[in-house]
Amino acid sequence: MPTVVTLQNGQTFSFTSNIATDLDIIPVIDGSRIWSESLEDRQAVAEEIREASRKIGFFYLVNHGVDEEYTEAVMRQAKRFFELPEEKKMEVFTGLVPNEYVGYHPMECYNRNGWKRQGQCAYWKDQKFAALGLIRRTDLSEAFNWAYDPAEDPEAVDQSPPAVSIWPSDLPGFREGLYAYHTKLLQLSRRLTRIFALALHLPEDFFDEYIRQPEAGARILHYPQQSASVDEQNGIGAHTDVECFTIVNQDETGGLEVLSKTGAWVKARPIPGSFVVNIADAFMRQTNDFFVSTIHRVINRNGRERYSAPFFFGFDRAKPLEPVPTCVSADNPMKYPIMTGGEYYTWRTNKQKQTNTRNTPGQRAN
């Protein structure tokens, strides 16, 4: 019988098997052409990205222009942070910051899919019930998020808006190391946004006004090796991302899985030197479902710890997510109500944070 899951964006999906395959359905795209001075080169890569964004919503980007010293350095910073004692990490608990996703998200504090069965125990740590298969365990991962800071943006037109991120004390070089990586991904994302405009058959500068002060958050993640089966636990449960697109820097461990249109889980195996890029919900909404925001998850049963560093790129929170003109018509009207990027971000952020089991009642209400 198919398993049915409702996501936090309201979307419902089903799959018949919980075991991922090794099918090569995620295309590999040469990113060197996005930096080419030739419009013909940029249009050619844009057509490849258009096809991938329409069919699967995921692609690998190689030769992307970000030096390995930055992708490796952010992983070292991740290991530094996650090696801290729990009480130290909880000094920057995300529940301390209303309406923002920044800060520390503790280990096993989310159950993104909320899979429960009738009559189950309310607490998954009750081993008697877990052994009977009557409980689904919370996601086996921990994370730290930080947000766009105009003071760290070399292209910012206004550096005065206050920063919202919170940072651990007595961890020298941590903030600087994360923003060094963030700046490189910010530059890549701005260039990719122009390629996405070409992919939608729009003028290359169509989205420029949306990204002068973008929604550009990032995250480091730690996944211990999980002993529970995929039916009992995920590293991160099935979900879609919030903003326009995500650029993922993953280590060699593997574990990222993508749900194909046929309802099969497919492994997004690590490719050295690559980023994994996926379409997120705000872009799917704005393109009226022309681009696909694809469901994905992480299962870490590879015998070692896994680290990753996704970068979430979206449009200026003050800008309305108006329909892309090439994606609507009299025969294909807009399917979603128009709201600003900030309104959509706040709605989704609070839906996610309210499920954090480490919140206090006051924090949960924010």
Tens of pLDDT, residue by residue over 57-106, are 999 999 999 999 999 999 999 999 999 999 999 999 999 998 888 999 99
pTM to 2 decimal places: 0.88
**Domains of the chain, with CATH numbers?**
20-112+135-364 (2.60.120.330)
Low-confidence spans in the chain with pLDDT less than 70: 1-11, 13-14, 16, 112-136, 353-357, 359-366
- CA 252/CA 265 separation, integer angstroms: 19
Span 23-63, pLDDT tens digits: 788 999 999 999 999 999 999 999 999 999 999 999 999 99
9-16 — which CB contacts under 8 Å span 24+ positions? 9/240, 9/281, 9/348, 11/240, 11/295, 13/238, 13/259, 13/263, 13/295, 14/263, 15/259, 15/263, 15/264, 15/265, 16/263
